[in-house]
Amino acid sequence: MVLRVGVVGAAGRLGSVLAAGVAAADDLELVAAVSPRHAGRPLGAVAPGVTGPAAELVVGADLAAVAGAGADVAIEVTGPATVGPNLLALLDAGVHAVVGATGLAEEDLAAARERAARGPARAVVAPNFAIGAVLLERLAATAARHLPDVEILELHHDLKVDAPSGTALATAAAIDAARTGAPVPTGEGPSRGERHHGVPVHAVRLPGLVAHEEVLFGAPGQVLSLRHDVTDRTAFVPGALLACRRVGGLDGLVVGLGALLD
């Protein structure tokens, strides 16, 4: 069975790469692309990585293009200002949602959980589609049981609108949940990073970067460094396609790709 997929944010830096990945998959069909600024143009003209028949797909202005094209699943990769309303609208339209945009408000996430619980549409909300980033989070949680003194450094391109990243926040939450005792203070002061779940998180935004995360654990006489680097956005394609294939069989809404890897 071929799964029909729409991409919301199809002309963006990530959306264009994911659209190309969907179009290249044998078991997926790209049936809709949404990008308000590029509405009415062929997808290939605004997302050069998309080739073949999908390149001729006319870009829509809003989510009606996704439901109207009969999409089974939609990948949402816009931004904090639009991801919440878009997620709720997709679920209300009966379209499974795979969300890669960060900045989702807690009230929107709660409303999405309620909608996905009663169906028929389900959802995956993933702070990061890169499989390596999910594995780093798991490794960090394991290390935190033995080395509670930790800081996170995350580095992204200068156009990323949120800081810290959703990936860093998810890693901090995983570390906090895994600690067997009280968190160990790692210094105080404005230059020591903003604390999330008791973990100092440092955000860097510079041109030339893509997406990078380093988790540093310290103890007397030793330092453990866990690092994941994305050097090209094609790293996000396998995880996003996995979520598209699995979302319809989920029970409600799932946060993170970790549950899909088990």
* Catalytically annotated residues: 156, 160
DSSP string over 94-147 = T-EEEE------HHHHHHHHHHHHH-S--EEE-S---HHHHHHHHHHHHHHTT-
Q: How far apart are the first and last CA of the chain?
A: 23
Instruction: Give SS3 for 36.
Output: helix
Tell me the C-alpha distance between 182 and 193, whole Å. Answer: 19
Tell me the C-alpha distance between 145 and 127, whole Å. Answer: 23
User: Comparing C-alpha atoms, which of 119, 118, 153, 128 is closest to residue 226?
Assistant: 153
Whether 237 contacts 245, CB under 8 Å? no
Tell me the C-alpha distance between 210 and 160, whole Å. Answer: 9
Whether 130 contacts 235, CB under 8 Å? yes
